[in-house]
Structure 1
Amino acid sequence: MSPYGVVDMAGNTFEWIDEGTKRRPGAVQMKGGSWGNYVRDGMLPYELAHHTSILPDSYYAACGFRVVTTERPAVLNGTPSEATPPEPKARPPAKPLGEALRQRIHESARKGDVPTLVDDLGALTREVRARRPLEGAATDPEIRRAVARANSAANHVAMYAAAIASGGTALQATVDVARKHLTASLVALDNAVDAVAAAGPAAPVPQAKGETGLQWQDVPAGNFAYGRDNDTRALPSFQITKYPVTNAQYRQFVTETGYTPQGGWRTPASGVDEGWADHPAVHVTHYDALAYCKWAGGRLPSEPEWEKAARGTDGRQYPWGPEWRDDACNNEMGGTTSVTRFESVNVSPYGCVDMVGNVLEWTSSAAPNRPGAILTKGGAWHNFSNRAFNAVRFTSEPPDVAHGACGFRVAR
């Protein structure tokens, strides 16, 4: 609560304000940080002097707003009422989930072995997410919350362990306080994982009944230059779709299965869908993307797979070559465009189109130092710096986040 009695101004959701930004005149500021943020030394999104910005047509599941008026209302509404929680459902006895990983996580946290800790947290959160039913909005809220709590607790464990190991601070906490937070976060992680385990394995997603319309590109086995340092990395052969999944393709999945996307994807109102079918599907959470991939007989690409498909083997920074081209992709065009609009230039050595610009794309990889979040690649229409479109660059989002500039493609 603020000195003026204003509640929830830091955390929970970013909030739109009525101000632009000098560096990005077409965008609007957001303040306060959100549940989708994480904290590390040097980046405190919850500080009230901090702001970020986004284009006004963007939609983001961690952004809300509040109202200001110059006139005092005649009647003040009361505080929001809490809905009566549902009766807990009876669950079968939990089987151990990630037991060996959890033991190593506790041991690494005790020893201060942060690299091993972060790797094991990433592996554990992958196991946890695999237990989440891919039923869209119909997913049991109890399980959905337990998975989200596990992801959040994993992030906190990594953050406080890193702060302790470096002798630094997290949220200006002393090392002693950080140790207390680490202990509490480990307990929260165990409790959340136990709750997920009690739900049992997720039901399988039905397979597509016919053709999906996906076009596949072959990426051969072998070495490639990976990451900012062009490290040599070897991958087996795989296939990846030529284009991001389009609205038409996602509509086929929704129509055939009755799936209700959690992220808010929907068909447009009658008369306003010109060109919509060939635009990339957005407003999809990580789980919405996973459900489609399983239905289509594939999976999300890993971050190294995505990067090789975009860069080839010669170390280029962009699908079209080593140098940035402002006319080569959808960057700040006011919204998504057809996945074929830049096909003549925004094409990788393996024939993959639209891998940078237009929309960010979900991968299957956990974020380094943020193991409860998922890496996204490629930059999007709402970015304004060419750094965002570098094929080696990544950002990350919690898997329950959806917004109007994040889509996906399928690998197998």
Structure 2
Amino acid sequence: MKSLSLFILLFTSTLTFSQNAPEGMLLISGGEFIMGKDYKDGKSASSPAHKVKLNSFYMDTHEVTNAEYHKFCLETGHRLPEFWNTDVFRSGEKYPDYPVIGVSYGDALEYAKWAGKRLPTEAEWEYAARGGKAGKAYPNGNKWEYEKDKSKPDGWLNLIHPVGSHSPANNFGLHDMAGNAWEWVADKFSADYYSQSEYDNPKGPESGNGRVIRGGSWHSGPMCKRVFYRKGLSPGWCDFAVGFRCVKDL
């Protein structure tokens, strides 16, 4: 009976947290997962695969949009993104529902703080991107599905799309965890960090070369869109293919 009572308590608590999720966010229930991927030669920043345990958290269902970021700039006086009002990158007030790009790591931090949120850790991001699909390469399976540019027989339709409009959400209900825009996460980047990563809610290495970006973008090939693929970028860099999304503690 005690086990049943505990199960009911945990289920009720999870349901309550889910129902009380902040607007535009979903509850990501914590647990264990295998992070990264093993390679035969072991020479990859994404290896070795290792077990990680995470607490529950809330995550934005989609990347921060131009409209959301513009509101932040207007209310705080923060500078507008690089490439703002550039049509080819779908940046500016004309494209409110597209992901903001041209923001540095510091810009993303400032927005998250203003919104009462934070950037996800790298482990939280990968756990969320996998959507409970253990061992899969992409958020929705083992094959990357992408649109073809009809004007080029083998070309990609390399255009940023409105958030949540391009591919189905993953099993957690999150959109665009692969493609659209790279996403800044909180961790510093170290190519050999996975060989010494903590098990319980890892926060990344104490030192590293830049900050981690995840998920690939409209400008990336399928390799970069894999849920375990990781890359480092200078925190002060503003890129035409890098945005972010936020998380929030329970």
TM-score (norm 2): 0.70
CA contact (8 A) 2:67 2:93 kept: no
* Superposed counterparts of 1:253-272, under 5 Å: 253-261=72-80, 264=82, 266-267=84-85
Aligned pair count? 192
Q: Distance in 2 between matches of 1:273 and 1:221?
A: 36
Note if 1:397 corresponds to 2:226.
Answer: no
Partner deviation per Cα, 1:47-82 (whole Å, 9 max, x = no partner): xxxxxxxxxxxxxxxxxxxxxxxxxxxxxxxxxxxx
* Superposed counterparts of 1:3-152, under 5 Å: none
CA contact (8 A) 2:214 2:231 kept: yes
Aligned-residue sequence identity (percent) comes to 32
Q: Partner residue of 1:350?
A: 172
Q: Partner residue of 2:121?
A: 302
Q: Distance in 2 between matches of 1:259 and 1:268?
A: 19
Q: Partner residue of 1:280?
A: 99
Q: Distance in 2 between matches of 1:273 and 1:286?
A: 19
Q: Looking at CA atoms only, which structure, 1 or 2, has the larger radius of gyration?
A: 1
Q: Partner residue of 2:181?
A: 359
Q: Letter of the aligned partner of 2:25 in structure 1? A: W
What CA RMSD, in Å, does the superposition of the two structures yield over aligned residues?
2.4
Pick aligned residue for 1:232 from 17, 29, 51: 51
Q: Distance in 2 between matches of 1:362 and 1:214?
A: 21
Following TM superposition, by how much is the alpha carbon of 1:295 offset from its aligned partner in structure 2, in angstroms?
A: 0.2
CA contact (8 A) 1:360 1:377 kept: yes
Higher helix share: 1
Q: Distance in 2 between matches of 1:273 and 1:399?
A: 22
Q: Letter of the aligned partner of 1:217 in structure 2? A: L
Q: Partner residue of 1:175?
A: none
Pick aligned residue for 1:246 from 38, 55, 65: 65
Following TM superposition, by how much is the alpha carbon of 1:273 offset from its aligned partner in structure 2, in angstroms?
A: 6.0
Pick aligned residue for 1:380 from 211, 217, 224: 217
Q: Distance in 2 between matches of 1:316 and 1:280?
A: 25
Q: Partner residue of 2:244?
A: 408
Pick aligned residue for 2:141 from 321, 325, 333: 321
Q: Distance in 2 between matches of 1:332 and 1:277?
A: 24
Q: Distance in 1 between matches of 2:130 and 2:94?
A: 29
Please give the secondary structure, in 2, of the residue aligned with 1:365: strand
CA contact (8 A) 2:35 2:52 kept: yes
Following TM superposition, by how much is the alpha carbon of 1:323 offset from its aligned partner in structure 2, in angstroms?
A: 2.4
Partner deviation per Cα, 1:354-401 (whole Å, 9 max, x = no partner): 111011000001111470300100011111x31111010011101000
CA contact (8 A) 2:215 2:225 kept: yes
Q: Partner residue of 2:159?
A: 335
Following TM superposition, by how much is the alpha carbon of 1:296 offset from its aligned partner in structure 2, in angstroms?
A: 0.3
TM-score (norm 1): 0.44
4+ aligned runs moved over 4 Å, structure 1: 272-275
Q: Partner residue of 2:9?
A: none
Evaluate the alpha carbon distance shift between residue 409 and residue 324 of structure 1 in structure 2; reply closer, same or farther with a 3 A threshold: same
CA contact (8 A) 2:84 2:92 kept: no
Q: Distance in 2 between matches of 1:356 and 1:294?
A: 24
Partner deviation per Cα, 1:79-113 (whole Å, 9 max, x = no partner): xxxxxxxxxxxxxxxxxxxxxxxxxxxxxxxxxxx
Please give the secondary structure, in 2, of the residue aligned with 1:278: coil
CA contact (8 A) 1:279 1:337 kept: yes
Q: Letter of the aligned partner of 2:139 in structure 1? A: P
Give ranges in structure 1 of 5+ residues lacking alignment: 1-212
Following TM superposition, by how much is the alpha carbon of 1:264 offset from its aligned partner in structure 2, in angstroms?
A: 1.9
CA contact (8 A) 2:35 2:126 kept: yes
CA contact (8 A) 2:66 2:92 kept: no
Q: Letter of the aligned partner of 1:338 in structure 2? A: P
Following TM superposition, by how much is the alpha carbon of 1:214 offset from its aligned partner in structure 2, in angstroms?
A: 5.3
Following TM superposition, by how much is the alpha carbon of 1:260 offset from its aligned partner in structure 2, in angstroms?
A: 1.3
Q: Distance in 2 between matches of 1:319 and 1:258?
A: 36
Note if 1:371 corresponds to 2:200.
Answer: no
CA contact (8 A) 1:251 1:267 kept: no
